[in-house]
Structure 1
Amino acid sequence: MSSSSTPGPGTVERAFQAALYADTDATLDTGASLLAADPASDAELTRRGEEFVAAAWRRGWQPADVVRFVRRELDDVHVRLVSALILSENRAPQGPRWSAQLEELHAQAEQEPAPRTDRFSHATAVLELYRLLLRLPTLEPLDAPGPHPAASPATPHDSRMLTRIRALLAKAEATGFPEEAEALSAKAQELMARHSIDEALLAARTHAKDAPGACRVGVEPPYETAKAVLLDAVAGANRCRAVWNEALGFSTVVGFEPDLEAVELLYTSLLVQATAAMTKAEAAQRAGGRKRTKTFRQSFLAAYAHRIGDRLASVAEGQVAASEGELLPVLAARDVAVADRMDRMFPETVTTRLRGVSDAAGWQEGAAAADRAQVKGRRPIP
C-alpha cells in the first residue's frame, strides 16, 4: 500500500503560524522554540524578513522610516535586526535621499556590532520584529511623478555649500554664547537662501522639468506637538509645507529639494539649541526651588516653537519683499506647485492645537530662548 509523501509546513511557516498572527507571549515562545531548535531554518527566516521589508517599500515606507518606527516601538536589538535586513534586501536605491539613508545604516552597523545571544532569544526578537513589520500601514508615496529634482547628482558647489551650512549649524549648537549661536544660525540661513534661490533661477532659466518632492522627518516624544509646530514653522519659512502624523511619529514635508534639505538641517539645529536652552533654564528654576519639570518643559518648547515661527515668518516675508525681476514669478510658481503636490498627497488634513501650556515661567524662558536663537535675515544677496 502506498502513502502520500507530501511534506508538511516547514519550520519557519509553522513558527509564523504560531507567533505572527497572535499577540501573546505563549504563542511567541512557541514560535521561537521551533526556530531555535532548527538551525537549518535560519536562511529561510532571513529571506522571509527581507520579503517583509520589501513589502514595506511597496506600502510607501523608506529605510529611515522603518528604522525610526522600529526604534519607537521596540528595542535596540530589533533596530539592529531590521537594519541588517534592509541592507541585505539589496533593493536599488530610489534616489540620493534613499542612498544616504542606506549609507547611514552601513555606518551604524559598523559602529555597533550585534551582541552574541542564545538562539531562543534571537528567534524571539526576530518574531517580535516581523509582527511589527507585518502590521505596517500604507503611507503616502514620496516619489513625485516625472523627473525628480533629487535625481540630479549634486555638483561640487552644492556639496561645498551644504558642508559649510552643516559646519555653521554644528558650531551654533556647540557654543555656550547665545549671540554667537544667533550669528552662526543667521549665516547658515543666508547660505540656505542663496542655495535655494540659485537653484530656483537655474531651473527656470534652463526650463528644467523638476517637481516638488517630499521627505519624512521624525517628530519624537516627549512634547511632540510643540516639536511638530516648530518643524511646521521652519518648513513654512523655507517655502515648504508640513503635515504631522502623530500616530507614527513623523511629519511629511513637501517642497523642492534644496528647500527640503534646508528644513531638515535648520529644524534639527534649532531643536538641539532649544533642548540645550531648556535644560539650562530648567536647572536655574530648580535651583530656585521649583519642581514642576514637565509643565515647565512643555510650556518652554511651546513658546519656543511659537516665537521661532513668528521670527521665521518675518524673515521669509522680508526675503520675498527684497526679491526683484524674474525671481518673484519663479517663487510664486513654486509655491503653487508645492501646494498642489501637498493637496494631492493629503486631500484631508486637520488643524492641531498646542495643549498643556500652563506654565508662565516656562513660556517666558522659551520665548527668550527663541529670541536668542533668532535666524534673522541679512541684506539681499546680489
Structure 2
Amino acid sequence: MGADKLDTVRKLLAKAERAATAEEARAYTAKAVELMARHGIDEALLGSARPGDDEIGATRVAVDDPYSAGKARLLGWVGSAFGCRCVLHGAGGGKVTAVTLFGHASDRARTELLHTSLLLQATSQLVRLRPPDARESVAAYRRSWLHGFAVEVHRRLTEAHERAEADAGAGWPVDGPSVALVLADRRERVERAWAEAFPDLGRARRSVLSGSGYGAGARAGSRADLGRTAVPRSPAAALGG
C-alpha cells in the first residue's frame, strides 16, 4: 500500500486497540479493512492505465508445521480474495511445505502483509485452545478451528472488495471500460499467465477435517483484524501439538 494509506490504516488500528468498547473497536477495524480494499481497486485501475507498473509474477512463501496445511489454506484464501492464484508445494499427509502466490505485484504484497498478521492472530489463540470434549483430539480440534477461521476471513475480505468495487464503479467516468470490466480483464490476465506458468498443475485433494472447532474458528475469523500491519518480519509458528 502507499505510505499515506498505510499510515492511515495504522492509525485506525491504533484507535481500535485503544477503544473503550468492542463496538467502537470493530468500527475502527472495519474502516481499516475498507481502506485496504479500496486501495486494491485503486491499484487495479492505475495498473490498467500503466500495465508495466504492476507486473504479474510469483512469490514463494514457506509454511511451517504444525498445522501447515491450515496455514497454507489461510494464505491461499487471502490471496484469492486479493486476485491471486496459489500453488501448494509438498502437499500430502496433512502438510504443506510452501505456497507460491501468483498475481500482480501489489496483490501479492497485500496478501503477504495480511497473512502475516492473521497468522499471528490465529497462533495467539490456537495455543490456548482445547476442545470442549476432553476425549477429542486437541490437534484435530485446532485444525478444524483454523479452517473455520480461514473461511470467515475469506468471506469478509471478499465482501469488502465487492463493496469497494461498487463504490468505485459509482464514481467512474461513463466513457471507456467500466470498473467491472477493468477488474475482469485484470483477473483474466492473471489466469492466462498462471496457466502458462503451471500447465501441468494437478488439483489438490479436498481436505477432510474431523475436529469440532470449525464454528469457534469462524467466530474468531469474524473478529480478526484484517488490516494490521505493525507485525514482526518473521512470525513464530510455535503451536502446541
TM-score scaled by length of structure 1: 0.48
Higher share of residues assigned helix:
1
User: Following the alignment from structure 1 to structure 2, what is the Cα–Cα distance between the partners of residues 207 and 302?
Assistant: 36
C-alpha change, 1:266 and 1:168, in structure 2 (3 Å) is farther
Residue in structure 2 matching 1:333, options 169, 180, 185: 185
User: Distance between the aligned counterparts of 1:374 and 1:187, measured in 2?
Assistant: 11
> Contact between 2:16 and 2:26, CA under 8 Å: does it hold in 1?
yes
Q: CA deviation at 1:201?
A: 2.3
Question: Taking every aligned residue pair, what percent have the same amino acid on both sides?
Answer: 38
User: 1:250 aligned to 2:98?
Assistant: yes
Q: Is the 8 A contact 1:308 1:374 kept in 2?
A: no
Q: Cα distance, 1:350 vs. partner?
A: 1.1
Partner of 2:144: 299
1:320-360 CA distance string (max 9 Å, x none): 344423422221111111111111111123123223x2222
Residue matched to 1:318: 163
Task: Give the structure with higher Rg (CA).
Answer: 1
What are the within-5 Å matches in structure 2 for residues 174-185 of structure 1?
A: 182-183=26-27, 185=29
Work out the CA distance in 1 between the residues paired with 2:22 and 2:210.
26
Residue 238 (structure 2) aligns with: none
Paired AA for residue 37 in structure 2: A
**Structure 2 segments unaligned to the other structure (5+ residues):** 173-177, 228-241
Give me the whole-angstrom Cα distance separating, in 2, the residues matched to 1:180 and 1:217. 35
In 1: Cα distance, 2:25 partner to 2:89 partner: 31
Match of 2:85 among 236, 241, 245: 241
Q: Is the 8 A contact 1:173 1:272 kept in 2?
A: no
Aligned residues: 214
Seen in structure 2, the aligned counterparts of structure 1 residues 162 and 249 have a Cα distance that, compared at 3 Å, is farther
Q: Does 1:158 align with 2:7?
A: no
Paired residue for 2:73?
229
Name structure 1 gaps, 5 residues minimum. 1-156, 377-382
SS at match of 1:239: coil
Do the aligned partners of 1:219 and 1:227 also contact (CA within 8 Å) in 2?
yes
1:76 corresponding residue in structure 2: none
Q: Pick from 267, 272, 280: which aligns with 2:115?
A: 267
Structure 1 residue identity aligned to 2:192:
D
Contact 1:178 1:373 in 2 (8 A): no
Q: Is the 8 A contact 1:216 1:251 kept in 2?
A: yes
Contact 2:38 2:161 in 1 (8 A): no
CA distance in 1, matches of 2:149, 2:155: 10
| Aligned-partner SS, 1:253 | strand
TM-score by length of 2: 0.72
**Are residue 351 (structure 1) and residue 204 (structure 2) matched?**
yes
C-alpha RMSD of the superposition: 3.4
Q: Secondary structure at the match of 2:203?
A: coil
Report the CA distance shift for 1:277/1:331 in structure 2 as closer, same or farther (over 3 A).
same
Structural mapping, 1:36-115, within 5 Å: none
The higher relative CO (CA closer than 8 Å, separation ≥ 6) is in 2
Q: Distance in 1 between matches of 2:22 and 2:64?
A: 25
- Is contact 2:29-2:226 (8 Å) kept? yes
1:189·1:375 contact (CA, 8 Å) conserved in 2?
yes
Q: Which residue of 1 aligns with 2:30?
A: 186
The answer to whether the Cα contact below 8 Å between 1:181 and 1:373 also exists between their aligned partners in 2 is no
User: What's the CA shift string for 1:165-200, capped at 9, x where partnerless?
Assistant: 46766898999x976765554333323223222222
| Distance 1:365-1:178 versus aligned 2 partners, 3 A rule | farther
> Does the 8 Å CA contact 1:300/1:366 hold for their aligned counterparts?
yes
| SS at structure 2 position matched to 1:198 | helix
In 1, the alpha carbon distance for the partners of 2:186 and 2:27 equals 29
1:219 and 1:250 in contact (8 A); partners too: yes
- Tell me how far apart the structure 2 counterparts of residues 354 and 319 of structure 1 sit (CA, whole Å): 32
Secondary structure of 1:243 counterpart: strand
